Amino acid sequence: NAGVTQTPKFQVLKTGQSMTLQCAQDMNHNSMYWYRQDPGMGLRLIYYSASEGTTDKGEVPNGYNVSRLNKREFSLRLESAAPSQTSVYFCASSVGTGRGETQYFGPGTRLLVL
Amino acid sequence: AQSVTQPDIHITVSEGASLELRCNYSYGATPYLFWYVQSPGQGLQLLLKYFSGDTLVQGIKGFEAEFKRSQSSFNLRKPSVHWSDAAEYFCAVGANFGNEKLTFGTGTRLTIIP
Which residue in B32, B99, B106 is closest to A31 by CB distance? B99
Q: Could A100 and B49 be called an inter-chain contact, meaning their C-beta atoms sit closer than 8 Å?
A: yes
Cis peptide before A8 (omega within 30 of 0): yes
Nearest CA in chain A to B47: A102
Q: What is the pLDDT along chain B (114 residues), one digit of tens a residue?
A: 788 999 999 999 999 999 999 999 988 777 889 999 999 888 899 999 998 788 999 999 999 999 999 999 999 999 999 999 999 999 998 865 555 578 899 999 999 999
A97-114 pLDDT, tens digit each: 777 788 899 999 999 999
> Closest Cα to residue B17, out of B106, B108, B110?
B110
Rounded to an integer, what distance in angstroms lies between the CA atom of residue A58 and that of residue A48?
A: 7
Best of A66, A101, A103, A104 to substitute, by most chain B Cβ atoms within 10 angstroms, is A103
Q: What is chain B's length?
A: 114
